[in-house]
Amino acid sequence: MLDLEVVPERSLGNEQWEFTLGMPLAQAVAILQKHCRIIKNVQVLYSEQSPLSHDLILNLTQDGIKLMFDAFNQRLKVIEVYDLTKVKLKYCGVHFNSQAIAPTIEQIDQSFGATHPGVYNSAEQLFHLNFRGLSFSFQLDSWTEAPKYEPNFAHGLASLQIPHGATVKRMYIYSGNSLQDTKAPMMPLSCFLGNVYAESVDVLRDGTGPAGLRLRLLAAGCGPGLLADAKMRVFERSVYFGDSCQDVLSMLGSPHKIFYKSEDKMKIHSPSPHKQVPSKCNDYFFNYFTLGVDILFDANTHKVKKFVLHTNYPGHYNFNIYHRCEFKIPLAIKKENADGQTETCTTYSKWDNIQELLGHPVEKPVVLHRSSSPNNTNPFGSTFCFGLQRMIFEVMQNNHIASVTLYGPPRPGSHLRTAELP
């Protein structure tokens, strides 16, 4: 049985690990994977057809804990303990829930101190006792008790006191004063772990198509002085097609991984008569997982020839490998009476909406089926790749965009950087 420390408005954890509000989904999954012998039977709950309409949930069934992540920014929003019999809980080092200590209203009052009167929800038959960043829900024994504790508006109170002996059914940890209005906080500095994260990624465009990326980056830096507190650093970097490997390293730092392409499965769709000729050397990717970006370099020139932006939707084969890339892509409208205008495609755009703005792509989509080996099956099914304005949109079966691949003609990186950087 897990023995965990409760920190209101912040976290739930122990000396080895901690689930912190604002933590990215990938870090929470990494904790679960590292401690898989202790934390077992974890479920991933999400909406397959509408992944943005419901929170993404990691359900620790053996321990009675749910971790609820915001559907958009994929940071931890609420920690719910829904079965207190499966876990030990303490506050400031003192247990208020264990096999020997029942989490009664008296025990909660003793451990956490006084607060406002409990609020009764007649539909759920629950009393909610709220502290800042922490709520407890108490179960009533029967419907016959409900009339005794109806709201007493004559005295201006939302409800009367919770009956003695009532035990906690659920506990919630969240940010702010209200569980209903809470939002996932910004990522805490303790979660950066030396990594750089992308707050936003803007696709830069020239007259014919994408020219490069402008990234607004976040990092945990330290101010001058030995005792200075760590603080958030925000800065912008730009990378372009034709930039050298050294240019990209100086702009974004070292990648998390370098991947060498063994083959190009899309080569068969090329009109080139030399498409069947094997290459003597392999192109290679810089994988920036916390940015949600891959950068492909040409094996001969060592210059950027492709960018790949990942949306990290649940239900995709690459889910949880990359952090979500919050991109904005300007698209040229080619409908009548709309020459020269652009519309913006974002991480959350649906493919149908893009087609309505731009008209249907000229060519039919290429069906992409991923698997880890020839004998393995992909439980998430195929995706569809549409070509548009020097870009390939990989679209999932629920109509959301899984990734966008940007192509561009090589260009001298030094000239662009001198001309366009402030």
Pseudo-torsion of CA 67, 71, 72, 73, nearest 10°?
10
CB 309 within 8 A of CB 398: no
The predicted structure's pLDDT at residue 158: 41
The predicted structure's pLDDT at residue 215: 98
pLDDT tens for each residue of 164-206: 778 899 999 999 999 999 999 999 999 999 999 999 999 999 8
State which amino acid sits at residue 91: Y
Torsional class of 10: left (φ above 0), alpha (ψ -120 to 50), beta (otherwise)? alpha
Q: Of 313, 320, 215, 322, nearest to 259 (Cα)?
A: 322
Residues near 270 by beta carbon (within 8 Å), at least 6 away in sequence: none
The predicted structure's pLDDT at residue 173: 98
The predicted structure's pLDDT at residue 274: 57
The predicted structure's pLDDT at residue 236: 97
Q: Residue 120, Cα to own-chain centre: how many angstroms?
A: 34
Q: Of 4, 28, 146, nearest to 78 (Cα)?
A: 28
By CB neighbour count within 10 A (0-12 exposed, 13-18 middle, 19+ buried), where does 306 fall? middle
Distances (CA, A) of 375 to 154, 186, 370, 372, 384: 71, 42, 11, 8, 21
Could you tell me the residue ranges of all domains in the chain?
2-174, 192-407
State which amino acid sits at residue 8: P
Q: Give the end-to-end CA distance of the chain in Å, rounded to a whole number.
A: 56
Q: pTM for the whole thing?
A: 0.87
Rg (CA), the chain: 26
The predicted structure's pLDDT at residue 336: 64
Under-70 pLDDT residues of the chain: 141-163, 222-230, 263-280, 334-340, 359-362, 372-376, 410-422
